Amino acid sequence: METLAAFIKNPKHTFFESQENNEKILYLLRRHPVTNTGWMLTAFLMSASPLILMILSLSYELNFSASVPVKYQSVIVLVWYLITIAFALESFLNWYFNVYIVTNKRIVDIDFWGLLYKNVSEATYENIEDVTYSTGGILQTMFNFGSIMIQTAAERREFEFDGVPNPSEVYDKITDLVQEHGKKPHKKHDSNGKP
């Protein structure tokens, strides 16, 4: 089940487009699965709403369907479920393909929006100036996830690994790699979400 994991250390048989020959992926990160509860709950409510509407109309003797011809009612329900499936699929794909990669040479942030847009940003460890991580709130503390902010001297000034599991471990690895590459980053961490 490593394919759907949010925290994969030294993933095997995993590659990305701009990976160099001697570059090794150390961490493959996604947002923690708990961050998916919002869209999952919405998709569940969307899928249950036609049934709930039917139960309410029967129990209170309301006739919502009287204004819509019978032959169109099934089409409306079918379209509703297609919209629900499209919403759930797009939300899942956004979670699955938005990845943060830590390699032995650089960090890579792959942002995937909708079905057709992808943005890839990267920074070498020589360009990293500041690394900060934060966890705050009940859910982040209970499930051990948070955000890692990375300030760089590169074209893209700030990277944010949002909602990643085990942020302290990833933070430690990134700062160690920055030091190995000859630079001492400004280290900051906060368990309350404050700098």
pLDDT digits (tens, 9 = 90+) for 27-67: 999 999 999 999 999 999 999 998 888 888 777 766 666 67
**Residue 148 and residue 170 in contact, taking contact as beta carbons nearer than 8 Å:** yes
Look up residue 64 and give its two tokens: 């919502």
User: From CA 17, how far away is CA 194, in angstroms rounded?
Assistant: 35
Task: Write down the pLDDT at residue 1.
Answer: 60
Residue 137 has pLDDT above 70, yes or no: yes
Residue 190 has pLDDT above 70, yes or no: no
Ramachandran angles phi, psi of 176, nearest 5°:
-65, -40
* CA dist list (Å): 53 to 16, 64, 66, 85, 89: 46, 8, 13, 19, 24
Considering only residues 76 and 164, tell me which one the structure prediction assigns the higher pLDDT. Answer: 164
Residue 193 has pLDDT above 90, yes or no: no
pLDDT digits (tens, 9 = 90+) for 149-164: 999 986 768 899 999 9
User: From CA 156, how far away is CA 149, in angstroms rounded?
Assistant: 12
Closest by Cα among 133, 114, 109, 137 to 34: 137
Mean pLDDT taken over the chain:
89
Considering only residues 181 and 83, tell me which one the structure prediction assigns the higher pLDDT. Answer: 83
Q: For tokens 């819509």, what's the residue?
A: 68
Considering only residues 157 and 120, tell me which one the structure prediction assigns the higher pLDDT. Answer: 120
**Residue 146 and residue 160 in contact, taking contact as beta carbons nearer than 8 Å:** no
Task: Write down the pLDDT at residue 55.
Answer: 83
Task: Write down the pLDDT at residue 58.
Answer: 74
Task: Write down the pLDDT at residue 189.
Answer: 58
Beta strands in the chain (DSSP E): 7-9, 25-29, 99-103, 106-113, 117-124, 128-134, 145-152, 158-165, 186-190
Task: Write down the pLDDT at residue 191.
Answer: 57
Running DSSP on this structure, what letter comes out for residue 73? H
Task: Write down the pLDDT at residue 150.
Answer: 95
- Report residue 72's pLDDT band, with 50, 70 and 90 as the boundaries: confident
Residue 194 has pLDDT above 70, yes or no: no
Considering only residues 136 and 156, tell me which one the structure prediction assigns the higher pLDDT. Answer: 136
